[in-house]
């Protein structure tokens, strides 16, 4: 049984031991919130929150949120982040991904209804699928293959958005939906399967960097501290419709690999492999809504964020900064 302390503003974060969830836990504890971190550790790691375990305003509960969630006492905010989030994870755990997006969201919404809490859903840019428009605004309905291998994640999140809006309309609940675009930073797993941890892990070992396809796919990358700031601004706002949070600076994956090689002083070469099924060709958020309604925009540049992330993956042995001048990346 979880006992939420009286009078303290209490936030429950499902998936709170994951990459973004653990940074949110840090952020909210730092702001004086009482944080209940709920995670079954399928893809999250206790190491991500180990430093918080002795904090009086933090509590970890190991629980699968597809089961009934019982929290005693006051809960003011519920942030639903529980889900495998990388292709490697949701392809490994397809059924669990669908269940946490459907059953898990239903259980979390039920608790929010009971507690009259603000409910924030962590959705994803994957709801846009392989987009036919670029950048992707919140008004775009997407281009998703519902029966493809990525559909387990895409459709789980699309369902989660639909049920969140249904609870908002039918039960007059106070809800938020954040569509999270590519995020990176400390606490990503090296075996995460996404481009940045893959490239950094390979670069630090001086082994070939693997690019799927010809590297002409584009992505935009948001450093985790910027992401957390955007999520918080949405949480405390009154904006109920979905909002994109991400960095709109777009680049080729080939250029990203070259940049990581340079920043890490790696001897790695680049190799190319077949593009996975339904891999998006472009990914870039339109963030005019976040700028206008949340007064938010990203602040951390890619060079700065990657340098911090490389240092983390290197075990903190490379110093506070990596003194390499970054020239403008070509877009050949």
Q: Which of 43, 147, 47 is nearest to 96 (CA)?
A: 43
Report CA-CA distances (Å) from 304 to 46, 205, 295, 308.
27, 21, 22, 6
CA 83, 21, 126: angle at the middle one, nearest 5?
45
Q: Of all helices (H) and strands (E), which one includes residue 304?
A: helix 302-313
Q: Cβ contacts of residue 82 below 8 Å, gap of 6+?
A: 14, 15, 18, 21, 38, 39, 40, 65, 100, 104, 108
> Among residues 90, 93, 128, 153, which one is catalytic?
153
Cis check: omega of the bond before 135, within 30 degrees of 0: yes
Q: Cβ contacts of residue 54 below 8 Å, gap of 6+?
A: none
Measured from the Cβ of residue 233, the count of other Cβ atoms closer than 10 Å reads 18
Q: Which of 328, 332, 124, 127 is nearest to 215 (CA)?
A: 332
128 catalytic per annotation: no
Report the alpha-carbon distance of residue 207 to residue 76 in Å, rounded: 48
Q: Which of 227, 244, 273 is nearest to 18 (CA)?
A: 227
Q: Quick one: 30 exposed, middle or buried, by C-beta within 10 A (0-12, 13-18, 19+)?
A: exposed
Task: Name the β-bridge partners of 120.
Answer: 79, 176
Q: Cβ contacts of residue 141 below 8 Å, gap of 6+?
A: none
User: Under the phi-then-psi rule, with left for phi > 0, alpha for psi from -120 to 50, and beta for the rest, what region is 216?
Assistant: alpha
SS3 79: strand
| Residues taking part in catalysis | 153
């Amino acid at each position: 049984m979880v006992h939420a302390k009286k009078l303290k503003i209490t936030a429950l974060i499902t998936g709170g031991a994951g990459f973004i969830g653990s940074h949110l836990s840090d952020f909210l504890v730092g702001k004086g919130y009482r944080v209940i971190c709920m995670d079954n550790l399928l893809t999250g790691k206790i190491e991500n929150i180990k430093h918080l375990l002795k904090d009086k305003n933090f509590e970890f509960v190991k629980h699968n949120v597809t089961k009934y969630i019982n929290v005693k006492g006051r809960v003011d905010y519920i942030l639903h982040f529980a889900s495998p989030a990388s292709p490697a994870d949701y392809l490994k755990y397809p059924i669990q991904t669908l269940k946490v997006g459907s059953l898990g969201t239903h259980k979390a919404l039920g608790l929010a209804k009971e507690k009259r809490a603000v409910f924030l859903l962590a959705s994803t840019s994957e709801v846009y699928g392989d987009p036919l428009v670029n950048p992707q605004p919140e008004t775009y309905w997407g281009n998703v293959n519902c029966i493809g291998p990525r559909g387990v994640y895409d459709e789980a999140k699309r369902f989660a958005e639909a049920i969140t809006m249904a609870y908002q309309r039918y039960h007059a609940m106070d809800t938020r939906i954040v569509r999270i675009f590519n995020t990176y930073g400390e606490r990503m797993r090296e075996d995460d399967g996404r481009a940045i941890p893959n490239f950094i892990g390979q670069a630090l070992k001086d082994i070939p960097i693997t690019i799927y396809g010809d590297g002409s796919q584009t992505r935009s990358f948001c450093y985790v501290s910027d992401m957390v700031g955007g999520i918080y601004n949405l949480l405390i706002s009154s904006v109920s419709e979905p909002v994109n949070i991400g960095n709109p600076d777009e680049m080729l994956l080939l250029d990203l690999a070259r940049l990581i090689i340079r920043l890490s002083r790696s001897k790695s070469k680049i190799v190319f492999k077949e593009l996975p099924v339904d891999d998006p060709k472009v990914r870039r958020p339109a963030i005019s809504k976040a700028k206008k309604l949340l007064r938010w925009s990203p602040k951390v540049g890619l060079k700065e964020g990657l340098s911090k992330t490389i240092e983390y993956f290197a075990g903190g042995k490379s110093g506070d900064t990596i003194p390499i001048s970054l020239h403008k990346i070509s877009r050949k």
